[in-house]
Chains A and B, each alone.
Chain A
Amino acid sequence: MGIRSAASNPAYRFVGLFALYLAIVAVVYPWLTESWVTPVRMMTTATAVIDYTLLSLVSDEAKISGNMVELGNFGVRIIAECTGIFEALIFLAAVLAYPTSWAKRAIGIGLGVPILYAFNLLRILVLVAVGRHWHAVFDFMHLYFWQATLILMITSVWLLWIFKVVQRGESNTQARA
């Protein structure tokens, strides 16, 4: 396949743009976080507080100390990676690279990022519960709910956005025409 025909393939064009946007956010994000440390700290603290609040609804063993969320004698420290920032940045690049209107991209980012964040909160809750009650499977669950499902989660939310927002909008437009 020649370069011109590869460039005319929408899938390859998408991948090229995705790589470009990913490179941009990969360089910009560390610069932003080093310039503005407070928002990152606020995000990790907020994640710890939300997880503690949700845990305390179902258990009186829940405790919080700084960014450390504990359930009984088991605790996890919430760091920047626990806020779902990696997932959000990759998803952002995938949505921006997809050929659709800016309004639909905005819907994708506005709904997709909170969904990924909610998944992340759930992931931490499950990990804390597993660490407290089934410590033997904690390593497996940690790996499974972080790296092993990261790209699948992003892909699922991205495809959901395409099917439910992008294509639905297109089919409505075609039906009216």
Chain B
Amino acid sequence: MGSRTLKLGLSFVLLTVGLTWLWVAWGGAAYERFLLAIAGPALAPFGVTQIVESPAQKRFVSLVPFVVLMWLTPGMSLRRRTAGTLIGGALLVLSHIALVGIEQWAHSSRRPTASPFSTLFPAALFADGLPFMIWAVVAHRFLGGLLSRVMGPRPGGDAAG
């Protein structure tokens, strides 16, 4: 293992530990207040008046690994990292609001499936995978580099870009 990989791995660990610590100490509760402040009216029809401990609530911390991926992936400009973090963060916030609503819906009699699990699972899995998807879009040059090395330059394609 090269020293660069080791340094990157260590940075990942330190940043995730630091940010998760902040999240547990203060960020999580502040984020829940923020969600209710911006999405209270949208969530009210689902019967959500407060954020309770639940599978949806536990997924809010997915902002942490997303920020870590955005800031530690090599080869991105500062502008791209900042814009990606802000836009991607906003998308994650929207996904969390949707997940809270879907969770409430899943436990109501109006759910579309026989069990709450079948309604909630797709939304929860999507919420888990979303940070990875947003990262892949924002870091598409890094990812594109990996892909083009495997696929090779295409005739007349955008390999040089």
Which residues in A have some Cβ–Cβ distance to B below 8 Å? 5, 8-12, 14-15, 18-19, 22-23, 25-27, 29-31, 33-34, 81, 86, 89-90, 93-94, 98-100, 139-140, 143-144, 146-152, 154-155, 159, 162, 166-167, 170
B58 touches A150 (CB 8 A): no
A66 to chain B, nearest CB (A): 20
Q: A29-B125, A34-B118 are in contact. List 17 more A-B contacts (CB 8 A).
A: A10-B148, A14-B147, A22-B126, A90-B125, A90-B129, A99-B147, A99-B150, A140-B24, A147-B59, A148-B64, A149-B65, A150-B128, A151-B66, A151-B131, A154-B132, A167-B150, A170-B150
Q: Which of B1-18 contact A (CB under 8 A)?
A: 12, 16-17
For A31, list chain B residues within 8 Å (CB): 118
Kindly report which residue of chain A lies nearest to residue B25, judged by CB atoms.
A140
Please report whether the interface of chain B is mostly helix, strand, loop or mixed according to DSSP.
Answer: helix
For A144, list chain B residues within 8 Å (CB): 16-17, 20
Q: List 14 A-B contacts (CB under 8 A).
A: A10-B144, A10-B148, A11-B144, A29-B121, A31-B118, A86-B128, A89-B125, A94-B132, A99-B151, A148-B61, A150-B128, A151-B129, A152-B65, A155-B132
B68 to chain A, nearest CB (A): 7
CA A30 – CA B133 in complex, angstroms?
Answer: 22
A143 touches B23 (CB 8 A): yes
CA A146 – CA B137 in complex, angstroms?
Answer: 24
For B91, list chain A residues within 8 Å (CB): none
We find that the number of chain B residues with CB closer than 8 angstroms to chain A is 48
B125 touches A22 (CB 8 A): yes
Question: For the complex, is B38 an interface residue (Cβ under 8 Å from A)?
Answer: no
For B132, list chain A residues within 8 Å (CB): 18, 90, 94, 151, 154-155
A32 to chain B, nearest CB (A): 11
